[in-house]
């Protein structure tokens, strides 16, 4: 029987290879430098450090591992406080639990959707009063958008608390012309399969402090002492990136700027086509910042739009289009029930962003026709005549 061809699935953010990765993988095979570490790893670290303008970088097996190393290097231990943005992926905070430390979640503010300097200050005032300041603040740059780093740095400096910048989603973004990921004492990137560039799985820890990154390399390779045999005096991890995967990363890094431009174009088209619909509000971009627009995110205000974010997601799914809710804030997660949380004001901003927010397919390989399908789907569910 003749039927209608099922429409091809449109994914949120699929991997987008450049073709240049194979050369580096081939080099690794030629020299049998499959593992451990090797020339692609060294080169990838140098290239990323140079790209973002950091003194040094350490390639690791995931962004989560990079956060864990940063916490370890800051000597985060049992019962220590670590502050963290609430509106983020669970990977931002899981390493706090690995260290048996206590997370405290900080709300977003409406202009960047990222950590509220107001809520952060409240939390710091409280913890100073208790005589127990946090060992670190993990600031997330959501969907490519930088947090208000100037204000956050100023507050953290007042209390002398180090910053880990979770730039897993914001490689290629800038804030006041400085690369995202270079504002904290540590920056971390992720090369997971859905990120703007990928090694299929991997991460990077960056810092200007070379000495501390030497320690990071030590911790990430089972903390092996300098001795003629295997000797260990400290707990260690197996967190380094393989030479093959670093090769994939090198091929991807060469096209990072193109990928950023393409994702920004995807955002621009969505905004142009949907930005004037009633109840549709796109994620803003701070004036002094440049977002890689990793994911196009927007709010659907049901009271004006007549549909809920869930209805839009369900409808698009029926059209074989993958859209998703904005991250469910960590203070609302069962894993973190009873965890302390500081709101921006009487409203709970991150909760409301979660309730209204959705992310649309934003891959750099998204075709014009595919994007048109997404746009028509949204107009359709909102009953807008096109």
Could you list the residues that contact ligand PLP (CB under 6 A)? 62-64, 88-89, 91-92, 140, 166, 168-169, 190, 192, 203
Distance (Å, whole) CA 115 – CA 139: 7
Residue 316 beta carbon to ligand PLP: minimum distance, rounded to whole angstroms: 21
Give the nearer residue to ligand PLP in terms of CB position, either 94 or 223: 94
Q: Return the number of the residue (127 or 141) whose C-beta is nearest ligand PLP.
A: 141
Written as six digits, the tokens of 377 are 């789907």
Distance CA 61, CA 204 (A): 8
CA dist 166 and 195 (Å) reads 13
Partner residues linked to 226 by β-bridges: none
Residue 143 beta carbon to ligand PLP: minimum distance, rounded to whole angstroms: 9
User: Where are the alpha helices (H) located in the chain, listed in sequence order?
Assistant: 21-30, 39-52, 63-73, 94-98, 117-129, 149-159, 210-220, 243-253, 256-274, 302-305, 309-318, 349-356, 368-381
Closest distance to ligand PLP from the beta carbon of 356 (Å): 20
- Output 205 or 381, the one with its CB closest to ligand PLP: 205
Q: How far is the CB of 315 from ligand PLP (least distance, A)?
A: 26
Nearer to ligand PLP among residue 43 and residue 91 (C-beta): 91
How many residues in total does the chain contain? 386
- Token pair 């451990």: residue: 36
**Where are the strands (E) in the chain, listed by range?**
56-60, 81-85, 102-106, 136-140, 163-166, 174-175, 178-179, 186-190, 203-207, 280-282, 289-290, 296-300, 324-325, 341-342, 357-360
125 CB-near residues (< 8 Å, 6+ apart): none
32, 240 Cβ separation under 8 angstroms: no
With CB atoms as reference, the residue minimizing the distance to ligand PLP is 63
User: Which is nearer to ligand PLP, 331 or 373 (by Cβ)?
Assistant: 331
Residue whose C-alpha is closest to residue 362's, from 267, 227, 285: 267
| Shortest reach from residue 64's CB to ligand PLP, in Å | 3
Q: How far is the CB of 69 from ligand PLP (least distance, A)?
A: 12
Least Cβ distance, residue 135 to ligand PLP (angstroms)? 19
Query: CA-CA distance, 128 to 61, in Å (whole number)?
Result: 35
296 within 8 A of 266, measured Cβ to Cβ:
yes
Which of residues 63 and 184 has its CB atom nearest to ligand PLP in the complex?
63
Of 166 and 355, CB closest to ligand PLP: 166
For 50, residues 6+ apart whose C-beta sits below 8 A from its C-beta are none
Instruction: Using the minimum distance from each CB to ligand PLP, give the nearer residue, 61 or 309.
Output: 61
Q: How far is the CB of 203 from ligand PLP (least distance, A)?
A: 5
């Amino acid at each position: 029987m003749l039927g209608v061809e099922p429409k091809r699935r449109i994914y949120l953010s699929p991997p987008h290879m450049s073709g240049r990765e194979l050369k580096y993988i081939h080099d690794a095979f030629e020299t049998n430098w499959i593992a451990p570490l090797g020339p692609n790893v060294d080169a990838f670290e140098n290239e990323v450090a140079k790209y973002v303008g950091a003194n040094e970088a350490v390639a690791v097996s995931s962004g989560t591992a990079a956060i864990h190393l940063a916490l370890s290097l800051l000597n985060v231990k049992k019962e220590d406080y670590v502050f963290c943005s609430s509106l983020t992926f669970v990977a931002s905070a899981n390493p706090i639990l690995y260290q048996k430390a206590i997370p405290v979640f900080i709300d977003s503010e409406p202009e960047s959707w990222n950590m509220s300097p107001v809520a952060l200050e409240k939390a710091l005032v409280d913890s100073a009063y208790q005589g127990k300041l946090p060992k670190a603040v993990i600031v997330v740059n959501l969907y490519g958008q930088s947090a208000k780093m100037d204000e956050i740095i100023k507050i953290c400096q007042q209390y002398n608390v180090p910053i880990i910048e979770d730039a897993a989603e914001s490689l290629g973004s800038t804030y006041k012309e400085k690369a995202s990921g270079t504002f904290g004492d540590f920056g971390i990137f992720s090369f997971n399969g859905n990120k703007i560039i990928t090694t299929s799985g991997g991460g990077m820890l960056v810092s200007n402090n070379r000495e501390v990154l030497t320690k990071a390399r030590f911790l990430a390779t089972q903390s092996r002492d300098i001795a003629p045999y295997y000797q260990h005096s400290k707990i260690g991890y197996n967190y380094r990136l393989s030479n093959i995967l670093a090769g994939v990363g090198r091929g991807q890094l060469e096209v990072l700027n193109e990928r950023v431009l393409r994702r920004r174009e995807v955002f621009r088209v969505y905004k142009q086509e949907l930005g004037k619909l009633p109840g549709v509000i796109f994620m803003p971009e701070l004036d002094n910042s440049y977002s890689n627009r990793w994911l196009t995110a927007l709010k659907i205000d049901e009271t004006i739009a007549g549909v809920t974010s869930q209805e839009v997601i369900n409808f698009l799914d029926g059209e074989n289009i993958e859209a998703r809710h904005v991250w469910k804030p960590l203070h609302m997660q069962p894993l973190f029930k009873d965890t302390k949380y500081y709101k921006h004001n009487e409203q709970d901003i991150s909760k409301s962003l979660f309730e209204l927010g959705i992310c649309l397919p934003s891959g750099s390989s998204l075709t014009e026709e595919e994007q048109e399908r997404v746009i028509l789907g949204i107009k359709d569910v909102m009953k807008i005549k096109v």
